[in-house]
Amino acid sequence: MNIHDILTIYDYNYWATRQILATSAQVSPEQFLVPAAHSFGSQRGTLVHIHGILE
């Protein structure tokens, strides 16, 4: 892996994070916390996981 590849991965990560946060900002508080059938339990749980925030 070279520096260009690493910078590409970082750029993609920043882009993806902005997309996730922008989309998440459009849901209601109820939708944000509604239980889901995936491993993190809700949209909030997924964001906590992605961003490594301690609950």
Range of the domain at 45: 3-51
* HEC-encoded secondary structure of 5-36: HHHHHHHHHHHHHHHHHHHHCCCCHHHHHCCC
Q: In this structure, what are the phi and psi dihedrals at residue 38, rounded to the nearest 5 degrees?
A: -100, 175
Instruction: Quote the CA–CA distance of 36 and 44 in Å, as a whole number.
Output: 10
pLDDT tens, residue order, the chain (55 aa): 899 999 999 999 889 888 988 999 999 999 999 998 888 999 999 888 888 865 4
Q: What are phi and psi of 28, to 5 degrees?
A: -75, 160
The reported pTM is 0.67
In residues, how long is the chain? Answer: 55
Which H or E run contains 45? helix 43-51
- Total domains, the chain: 1
